[in-house]
Structure 1
Amino acid sequence: MSEFHRFVVDGIIDPAVTLAAFAEQVGLSENEAEEFDRRFFDTPDGRLHADQSTLEVRNSVEFPLMCSLVWLKGGQVLASARVESGFSPDFAGSLPAGPAFDRLRELVEMRRFLPVATVRSRLSTGGHLDAEEKTTARVHIDLPSLPDGRSLPALIEVRAVRGYEAETAGLLRAMRAHEAFEPSDLSTADFARAMVGASPYLPGKLSLQLDDRASADEVWRVVLRELHEAMTANFRGTVEDVDSEYLHDFRVAVRRTRSVLQEGRGVLTPAARDHFRDGFKWLGDITTPTRDADVHLLDYPNMIAALSPEYAEALAPLHELLLSRQRSCQAQLALDLRSTRRAQLGAEWAEFLSGEGPWMDRSSGESGDAAEADRRARDVAAERIERAHSRLVRDGRTIDGSSEPEALHDLRKDAKRLRYLLECFGSLFPAEDLSVAVKPLKSLQDVLGEFQDTEVQAHALAQFGRQLDTEGASTDTILAMGGAIEQLSVRQSRARREFAARFESFDSREVEHAYASITGTGTTKSKKRKKKNR
């Protein structure tokens, strides 16, 4: 893309008048102008916003039946297609076919498009002309307003024409010198969302900045409150089944909470720790069937892509079964999440996080009470990380070609424990060490996850096959399911072969030094252990 600049025209009564005067002053031409009703869409976590692009359904005010779906970034149209009047994109599969929209499908993945803003804009296109009336820059002007008539800030966007960068630089200097123009990274959709007080996008990742001087008790509660906010943010979307990622993120927050509670031995009172570990285990358990059903559906396109067209077509009854199962599991999950038990857990948890209720009493004198609560959080977290890392390295080094699948499944749990510690408490440690420590761990988790998931899916498909056979499915369907199970076996075998190289990268000297720096331990013991086990 060529160089792109956007300015907001703000602080004046009539931006159109200001823009017209400036256009005459610097030599801007207007080639065409038209009014459009524009409906902007983004994912719940704002993936297009983060990409600095926008997706809109654009209707001509003069010709209402002329409707287009337009994906824009940096003032350029990345993809555009005519759509039916009233069209709204749903999931990635609802986008028009073609390589341009394929890139958008890759960006949004499994997330649903939601309407985020509606405006009416007078859009004009033109150019900046030199003395010979050659176009040196493309110029787009947007005069937008909300449906209720409130005006939004006008925007003017400039893109240099190749070979005329110097002329464009002169235009930009004039714009920066103008009192009404301010450089801006915000789009019309951003201004519209701000004007109507729209809720912020869901956070994509856990983002914590912990005080390394604070006590363990203080830091543990900060982390647990942040995870509580993540659960709260994803709760409604999970109940309403907006898309599968709400449940995924809800479950991740639950699992992280359980892990932080597990690592809270000596930091949290035993009564609170045990009570809430049981509560969040139940919460995790009730979400598992729906998540499993979601995973089957999410993996279905990959599964049929690996089969012949005839087999893929024969699996239609399986797809219907998966859809039915997901709806049934989701209905039960919604009931459980609206239950008295879940509400009571939520109320007790909020009480605990606010520092109230019976969970705060440290005077019970129980064995193993919160003796480490007042220690520096960084020291306590470092000890937990050192133990988790040592266990993962120790157990991983015992795995070879003859190891049972359960050994890899158990190792995956060890890796999760370490990953959650680094994600939740990582900001207590140097960022450069954390980066070295996390990257190979993620890679190792990917291959362990593939090994586990393909085995679980293969067992589930075998059960579904027996059910469909009982219900009278055709021979082609049963044979196709056998082919799908075989493909899962191929994927699992590939993951098994890749494990050794992934673990070797994780168990490298560089990564070992990063963990030693994080935990404040030496590497002598680890080196001796490596020599003994290899």
Structure 2
Amino acid sequence: MLTITSGGDLRTLLRDADLGKLHLALDEGEGTSAFALLDTFDAQVAAAGLLLVLTDAGLHLLGGTEALVQERAEPDFIAQMPAGPVTKRLSGIVSPLRTLMTVAEGTLSRHGLRVLDDNEKTHLRGTLWVLDAGKAGAVSVSALTPLRGYDKTLGKVKAALSAAAGNGKVGTMLEASAALRGEDPALIGKTRIVMSADEKAFKAANDIIRAQLVAARRQEDGIGADLDSEFLHEYRVALRRVRSVISLFKGVYDEKQTADLKARFGAIMARTGRLRDLDVYLIERDRYLALVPEGFRPGIGKLFDMFAAQRDLEHAKLTAYLDSKAYEKEMARLEKLFDKTKALSKGPEANRHALDYAKALIWKRYRKVCKIARGIDEATPDEQVHELRIECKKLRYLMEFFAPLFGDAEVRKLIKALKKLQDNLGNFNDYSVQQAALQEQADALAGSSEPDTVEIATGIGGLVTVLHNKQLEERARVTASFAAFDSEETQAQFRTLFKPEGEAKK
């Protein structure tokens, strides 16, 4: 099967396509109908080379080896949608934490399509889909299958249609999706920073923060609508990155400016913490229930019912805050501050070249990670393991911030190696935090006269015991995880990319 995407209406382009002795035959079609393009907020379907189209006739998945269709179903989490070939295919693509949503709408026309030779013998057969989202854009997708013996015709037709499309062509389903959504394909659910080696550290910091503010604000509608928990997660990640720039880019802003920015962004983040904690618990509900013996499960179930009720209250509080004039005023001020930048007070490192500054920051943080990790053994206190997790997170943020200066591919490879260690340390931290939070919940229940108190407390006790054992297992893996990260190849790559010139070998 050959899938070709093209900006605009391919029917008009077909007339200009030079197919030599071949020609295209297009049927009249069935008229136009409404369609909705479904995807996650961050385009997980399109990124996999697919378009998910909802019509009155059903749910259609274009791309891949064959077009799939099943009965019409409204967008939801994949696990909540009816079973069928489309949802089965998407179950391995779309995160269970992400819901499908309508990302574009418009009119659709479908036509049968054939490629014939001078003898009117059919070489290729398929369907042409024309998706028109109005002002956002239009995209044509043709799915052609060769008849036996005519595989070479595919290449000829693809080249001819590409030439006819010219500058209007789009080459991937992600680009097709972006055209229909009216967005830049590189920015769907992401941020992109352009950075040069000789620009100043002050400008680099401001550009990163500005981009993260945009990313955070793009999540607000999804948080309010409560579409899925990832909107709040991505909002927090964006603001956490802002705070990391302020903290890690030492000397770029003066001390007073740094303290002011930390306080302002910290105040916003503080509003989101409890809701995110409850989201994490509820996401883990089934896993937690499976971890404990059956006798503890009724109490755990009731505990999670309490969490669900608390979550509704916390979501209402956060939504009210995000809708408030005070929040809008503060975010507008922060956006203006990093758009204009003249009101920001520079520190002693503000005018340093970004490349030199990045190398110094990343190399120093990398060496600190290695020093801490190499000192960890069975007798090392848990606090040192927690410190390693924090330093690894700081190192990863710095590498991601400055990736444009060093080559995205090279940095991604090192981040991938670091992520395996981070996953281990993250699990260790999660088990620790969850135990503390559950114990706090148990303490809050102490003395309560509610009839379910004893059952819930018993369930908490069982779950805390299991989580403690899980934490010990992760603790035992730390040394091995770091050894895998600390390979000679990885060390050499860090030295090549980030070691400042003239620094002595250590």
Structure-2-length-normalised TM-score: 0.82
Give the superposition deviation at 1:305.
Answer: 4.9
- The match for 2:171 is 185
Instruction: Report whether the alignment pairs 1:47 with 2:34.
Output: no
Deviation at 1:31, TM superposition (A): 12
Quote the Cα distance in structure 2 between the aligned partners of 1:384 and 1:138: 58
Q: What code does the residue aligned with 2:402 have? A: F
Is 1:503 aligned with 2:482?
Answer: yes
Question: Would you say the 8 A contact 1:251–1:284 is kept in 2?
Answer: yes
**Do structure 1's residue 454 and structure 2's residue 434 form an aligned pair?**
no
Confirm or deny: 8 A CA contact 1:238 1:246 kept in the other structure: yes
User: What is residue 491 of structure 1 aligned with on the other side?
Assistant: 470
3-state SS, counterpart of residue 39 of structure 1? strand
Residue in 2 that maps onto 1:105 = 91
Cα distance in 1, alignment partners of residues 28 and 112 from structure 2: 6
Change (3 A) 1:6 1:147: closer
Q: CA deviation at 1:295?
A: 1.0
| Distance change (3 Å), C-alpha of 1:507 and 1:190 | closer
- State the one-letter code of the partner of 1:290: L
CA contact (8 A) 2:54 2:60 kept: yes
Deviation at 1:352, TM superposition (A): 2.9
Q: Deviations over 1:363-416 (max 9, x none)?
A: xxxxxxx22222222222222222222222111222211223222112111111
8 Å CA contact retained: 1:39, 1:115: yes
Q: Which runs of 5+ in 2 are unaligned?
A: none
Of 160, 163, 167 in structure 1, the residue corresponding to residue 146 of structure 2 is 160
For the pair 1:251 / 2:236, whether they are aligned, the reply is yes
Worse-matched range after superposition: 423-432 or 128-137: 128-137
Distance of 1:253 and 1:237 partners within structure 2: 15
8 A contact 1:175–1:181 mirrored in 2: no
- TM-superposed CA distance for 1:353, in Å, is 1.6
Greater Cα shift, 165-174 or 238-247: 165-174
Return the alpha-carbon distance in structure 2 between the equivalents of residues 348 and 123 of structure 1.
49
CA RMSD, 1 decimal: 4.1
- 1:122 corresponds in structure 2 to 109
Choose which of 66, 81, 90 in structure 1 pairs with 2:70: 81
What residue number does 2:248 align with?
Answer: 263
Compared with structure 1, are the counterparts of its residues 456 and 100 closer, same or farther at alpha carbon in structure 2 (3 Å cutoff)? farther
Q: Identical aligned pairs, as a percentage?
A: 25
Distance 1:407 1:187, change over 3 A: closer
Q: Distance in 2 between matches of 1:43 and 1:205?
A: 13
Q: Give the CA deviation at 1:241.
A: 3.1
Q: Which of 55, 58, 62 in structure 2 is aligned with 1:58?
A: 55
Counterpart CA distance in 2 for 1:501 and 1:468 is 40
Structure 1 counterpart SS, 2:313: helix
Q: Which residue of 2 aligns with 1:207?
A: 192
User: Are the structure 2 counterparts of residues 298 and 134 from structure 1 closer, same or farther at C-alpha, using a change threshold of 3 Å?
Assistant: farther
User: Which structure 1 segments of 5+ residues have no match?
Assistant: 61-67, 363-369, 527-534
Distance in 1 of aligned mates of 2:162 and 2:184: 32
Tell me, yes or no, if structure 1 residue 397 matches structure 2 residue 374: yes
Distance 2:408 2:139 in 1: 39
In the other structure, the counterpart of 1:532 is: none
Shift of residue 53, structure 1, vs aligned partner: 1.1
Contact 1:9 1:180 in 2 (8 A): no
Paired with 2:141 and 2:362, the residues of 1 have a C-alpha distance of 50
Indicate the residue corresponding to 1:330 in structure 2. 315
Q: C-alpha deviations, 1:419-453, integer Å up to 9, x for none?
A: 11111123223556534532222111111111111
Of stretches 43-52 and 168-177 in structure 1, the one that deviates more from structure 2 is: 168-177
Alignment pair present for 1:300 and 2:285: yes
**1:520–1:161 Cα change, 3 Å:** farther
Partner residue of 1:71? 61
In the other structure, the counterpart of 2:494 is: 515
**1-side partners of 2:121 and 2:167: how far apart?**
25
2:373 is the alignment partner of 1:386: no
Opposite residue 418 of structure 1, the aligned amino acid is: L
**Partners of 1:237 and 1:178 in 2: CA distance:** 40
1: CA distance between counterparts of 2:310 and 2:408? 44
Partners of 1:358 and 1:327 in 2: how far apart?
40
Query: Aligned AA for 2:54?
Result: V
Q: Distance in 1 between matches of 2:131 and 2:106?
A: 6
Contact 2:201 2:354 in 1 (8 A): yes
Aligned residues: 499
Letter of the structure 2 residue corresponding to residue 5 of structure 1: I
In the TM superposition, residue 300 of structure 1 has moved relative to its aligned partner by 2.1
* Contact 2:389–2:426 (CA under 8 A) maintained in structure 1: yes
Shift in Å at residue 339 of structure 1?
5.0
Q: Which of 332, 353, 359 is 2:338 aligned to? A: 353
- CA apart distance, 1:503: 0.8
Contact 1:206 1:423 in 2 (8 A): no
